[in-house]
Amino acid sequence: MPLCHLDRVLDTEGGVHDTPTPTHAEDLRLRNFYRRTIRRYTHTVAEFAKYFHKSPDQLGPDHIRAFLLHLLNGRKLAWGTIQGARSALKFFYTRTLKQAWFDQEIIKPEVRRKLPTVWSREEVCALLDATTNRLGERLLLATDGITEAENSAGELFGDLRLSAVAHYEDIDAILDCLARFQAPNPVQDDITRIDVDYTGNA
């Protein structure tokens, strides 16, 4: 049986079962990924192996392409989920199997961004009125250019990291965190932060 760096691998009958081979998960943990990301990445690679009934180190770019098309056309998953699956497979092949990625065969999909919905003054007031902020507390509003910033391994900055830097009053401090997270890739998306301080009724 070929070597497979998965927590779940194929047996001789084509089934998928758990084995004590934690190399893939260890690689993810060493990159300091969140547990949710680790579970999602390992699940994606296990599903990839199960789909073809083969160990993934026996599969190549044509199989990856077919699997992603299956997720898109067969399972009707969203583009964000497809991108996440591509990132999970790229990490597995480049970091765990130490193989070159298939840049020409598996092109990164272009993100289609919708124009933002501009809320009316009444809608903004209704949102603020619905909050439970007390006197002296602060409401943080931020665009998805922060939470959806992506590093070279395909991991998103996410809500948890945003929460960790939310106390920074200087937007430049958040930009520095984003720049370090995305390095060597530049920060490209729009980034806006609005702080609303509750001072009581006017």
β-strands 8-10, 138-142: how paired?
unpaired
Assess whether 89 and 128 both reside in one domain.
Answer: no
- CA–CA dist 5, 3 (Å, integer): 7
Assess whether 38 and 71 both reside in one domain.
Answer: yes
17 falls within a domain: yes
Q: Which of 45, 79, 96 is the last residue of a domain?
A: 96
2 falls within a domain: no
Assess whether 65 and 145 both reside in one domain.
Answer: no
CATH at 60:
1.10.150.130
Q: What is the pLDDT of residues 117-129, one digit of tens each?
A: 777 888 877 877 7
Task: Name the DSSP letter for residue 196.
Answer: E
Q: pLDDT value at position 174?
A: 76
Q: pLDDT value at position 116?
A: 63
14 falls within a domain: yes
User: Does residue 17 register a pLDDT over 70?
Assistant: no
Percent of the chain with pLDDT over 70: 76
User: Does residue 201 register a pLDDT over 70?
Assistant: no
Number of domain units in the chain:
2
Assess whether 86 and 157 both reside in one domain.
Answer: no
Q: For residue 93, with 0-12 CB atoms within 10 Å meaning exposed, 13-18 middle and 19 or more buried, which class applies?
A: buried
Assess whether 77 and 127 both reside in one domain.
Answer: no
3 falls within a domain: no
Q: For residue 41, with 0-12 CB atoms within 10 Å meaning exposed, 13-18 middle and 19 or more buried, which class applies?
A: buried
Q: What is the pLDDT of residues 71-94, one digit of tens each?
A: 989 998 877 788 888 888 998 988
Structural domain boundaries enclosing 88: 8-96
* Residue 127 and residue 139 in contact, taking contact as beta carbons nearer than 8 Å: no
Name, in order, each residue with C-beta under 8 angstroms of 61's C-beta and a sequence gap of 6 or more.
102, 105, 106
- Residues 106-113 have a mean pLDDT of 66
Assess whether 57 and 132 both reside in one domain.
Answer: no
Least confident of 55-69, 109-123, 173-187: 109-123
Assess whether 12 and 88 both reside in one domain.
Answer: yes
Assess whether 15 and 90 both reside in one domain.
Answer: yes
Tell me how far apart the terminal alpha carbons of the chain are, to the nearest angstrom: 73
CA atoms within 13 A on the CB side of 180: 6
Q: In whole numbers, what is the pLDDT of the chain averaged over residues?
A: 75
Please give the structure tokens belonging to residue 104: 């020409």
Q: pLDDT value at position 67?
A: 95
Assess whether 127 and 89 both reside in one domain.
Answer: no
Q: What is the pLDDT of residues 19-73, one digit of tens each?
A: 334 578 788 877 777 777 888 888 899 999 999 999 888 899 999 999 999 998 9
Nearest CA to 149 among 184, 187, 193? 187
Assess whether 12 and 90 both reside in one domain.
Answer: yes
79 falls within a domain: yes
- CA–CA dist 53, 97 (Å, integer): 18
115 falls within a domain: no
- Residues 167-176 have a mean pLDDT of 74
pTM for the whole thing? 0.54
Assess whether 81 and 128 both reside in one domain.
Answer: no
User: Does residue 1 register a pLDDT over 80?
Assistant: no
Q: Which long-range contacts (CB under 8 A, 24 or more apart) does 63-71 make?
A: 64/89, 64/102, 64/105, 64/106, 65/105, 65/106, 68/106
Assess whether 75 and 28 both reside in one domain.
Answer: yes
- CA–CA dist 58, 4 (Å, integer): 9
